[in-house]
A and B are shown apart, each in its own frame.
Chain A
Amino acid sequence: MPVEIVTGNHAAGYTLAVAGEANRNARGATCGIYPITPQTEIVEKVAAFPFTKGRVVPVESEHSAMGVVIGASLGGARAFTASSSNGLAYMVENIMVAGFYRLPVVMVAVNRTLGPPWNIWSDQGDTLMLRDFPWIQLYCSDNQEVSDLTLMAFRLAEDHRILLPVLVSMDAFIVSHTQQETNLPSQELADQFLPELDLPQRMRHDDPKTLGGMVWPDTTTTLRMEAHEAMLRVPEVYEECRQAFRDVFDRDPGAPIETFHTDDAETILVASATVATTARDVVRRRRASGEKVGLVKMRMFRPFPEEALRTACASASRVGVLDRDYAAGLGGVWWQDTRAAFQGHREDLVIQDYLLGIGGGDVTPETVDRVLDDLGTREKAGPPEWADIRREEVLA
């Protein structure tokens, strides 16, 4: 398929639909849809797609959108949806259920600030709130990544060693509504890349089972352990999917974490999504002037790629985590997990949190410069820094 100039939402909606269509010779595709800014264009795209064997169910809420996805997946269909912000919050109960039922469904989320007060701009607080459920989480920086990782998500989710739902996230407007050149998958190549879905726990008349009835604590714990073990298998299976993707599409969808000038870096920034793109430009410029700075772009948040992160930061003495999110009473979510990844491994490492771009604030190169200036002088980490607000100006 030729390269097209499309928005991130278009890339997501089209790729979800093509992935669903790729299951037409098996049990088809089903999608529960409900609008919310800024993801609405995704479900509009899916609703307009001429599925051979597919049904798009326009429901009355996000909670029911995921309900339809759960039912369709249990029926053996490839099932997916999209949401954002308060819509995800409303959907939470069923998001959890899809994870606990180990359903290989895919959801594209457009990261939008949770309200009130209402704010439609980018902030990762919505998807990071889902961090404790058995969902794989991937974060995208551009439209190509949105399309590629959406397709990867299905193959990864449906692998029988995994059987976990996957969330693919992008920044509100900065990606969702920005047009970029994007190499969208043709149906033919999507068919090649995605095997037909074969769900082991599909509901069947010839083998009646009760799903989700009462269990004792030891069974509950066993199920949690099994989900955890599936999570631990993700890096290996992801690499297989990545290789298969390269074979079919002749391009790399990217590793769980991507490193930039980290080999000899003394100071490393950890960032995700479009903040990582801005940070990469700053790091490139400061490298050119001889500073030993580097960047780790986090593409995967769950399972948290601890080992890869430790390896990437082996030479560093200082790590600054850029969080476009805030967990009340503690600090940034990426920072918490980064700290945990190094605990017991690198007690010498300064791991400082920078809260920026909250509520969709523009994360500029100047902000990242200020972060690096601050980080470079630190002998030890302090409490999370609100890196870009001018509260006095806001309140004035």
Chain B
Amino acid sequence: MSTVIEEGGMPEGTGILTSIPQIPLTEECILRPGNTNCGGCGMSIGLTMLGRALAEANDTAMLAVPACCGAVTAGAFPTTSYGAPTVNTTFASAPAVAAGLAAVRDMNDESGQVIVWAGDGGTYDIGMASLSAAAERNERIIYICYDNEIYGNTGGQRSSATPPGARTTTTPEGKAEEKKDIIGIMAAHGIPYAASLSMAHPADFRRKLQNAFDTDGMSFLLIHSPCPTGWKSEPADSVELVRLAVRSGLFPLYEVFEGKRWRINDEPDGTDPVEYFKRQKRFKVEHLDLDGIRRGCAQRFARLKKLAEVFPG
């Protein structure tokens, strides 16, 4: 069972694979073929990458999925696109349900990951209290938020993960408020591991999943998850968009260990954020405060860099 996932294996700008990663042949995978998710859906790519990582680690998982696109991914009964045991939870309950599953696993000395697979609405908004409580108790679960910065399943309403300027059905003129710093919030709980992941950086993505698998306690992983339907972008641009977000400093890749030590995984290369904005119709570039956004990116990265220097991870 070998997998070749090369950093940069997907050529910039084209969205076309030149060296195709080998998907390991397993009897079962987390996201089965034939699901009806949108083309270019970042959540689906993330699930596939999670499935590969589990297969490579020879590990298994149970999924707790709150209301989100991940809930409809299963498709209609009696078929399901999930190849792992999966429970749909109420919107705010996935961390609590996962804690129950993990408690029984641990009492019975069993192996396998218990993973919450949730969107940003279930994470930043309605699930915040149960997520915070699970983190405070340091539950042995992996919480993965695929952040498409929108209530995608309901047709694209603003969440507290929506970035400023983005037009949604409930912010038709563009959102005025900042996006929550969810990794800062989760790291402040002192959980063993919190990290941001980009599917344009698959080796880094894979390594961080493995870190989460190996963590004794709670991990929080944030995946920047393109949503062509909500972002009004080309499906083929999805991976390229999240690459631009990393390179411009809009979505820095970093890890926080125990809320105390920081490690930066990729430095912005000077790419202008406008390159990211102009390929998505949810933004009206002429309405954005580009200088303010550039300053924000620089300040955010400078702060992270200082933390990583003073408290290296």
Contacts and interface: CB of A to CB of B under 8 A. Distances in A.
Contacts of B80: 209-210, 213
Contact of A71 (B75, B96, B129): B96
Contact of A75 (B71, B93, B101, B133): B101
B62 to A, nearest CB: 6
Interface range on chain A (Cβ under 8 Å from partner): 35 or more
B7 interface: no
A66 to B, nearest CB: 8
B118 interface: no
Given A67-B100, A79-B100, A213-B77, A54 B107 contact: yes
Interface residues of B, number: 43
A61 to B, nearest CB: 6
A74 B87 contact: yes
A177 interface: no
B108 interface: yes
B296 to A, nearest CB: 32
B77 A57 contact: no
A67 B132 contact: no
A185 B107 CA distance: 25
Contacts of A79: 100
Given A94-B93, A208-B83, A219 B77 contact: yes
Contact of A205 (B62, B88, B133): B62
Contact of A77 (B95, B107, B130, B136): B107
A214 interface: yes
Given A60-B129, A77-B107, A94-B93, A215 B88 contact: no
Given A63-B93, A69-B100, A208-B84, A216 B62 contact: no
Contacts of A65: 96
A68 B97 contact: yes
Contacts of B82: 208, 210
Interface string A192-218: 000000000001110111111111100
A55 B107 contact: yes
Nearest to A219: B77
A332 to B, nearest CB: 31
A43 to B, nearest CB: 15
A32 B96 contact: yes
B206 to A, nearest CB: 22
A337 B74 CA distance: 40
Interface string B94-108: 011111111111111
Interface of A: 27-28, 30, 32, 53-55, 57-61, 63-65, 67-77, 79, 93-94, 97, 203-205, 207-216, 219
Q: Give 8 closest A-B pairs by Cβ, nearest first.
A: A71-B100, A67-B96, A75-B104, A212-B88, A60-B133, A72-B100, A71-B97, A67-B93
Given A74-B97, A213-B88, 11 more contacts: A57-B99, A63-B130, A67-B95, A68-B96, A70-B93, A71-B97, A71-B98, A72-B103, A79-B100, A205-B85, A208-B86
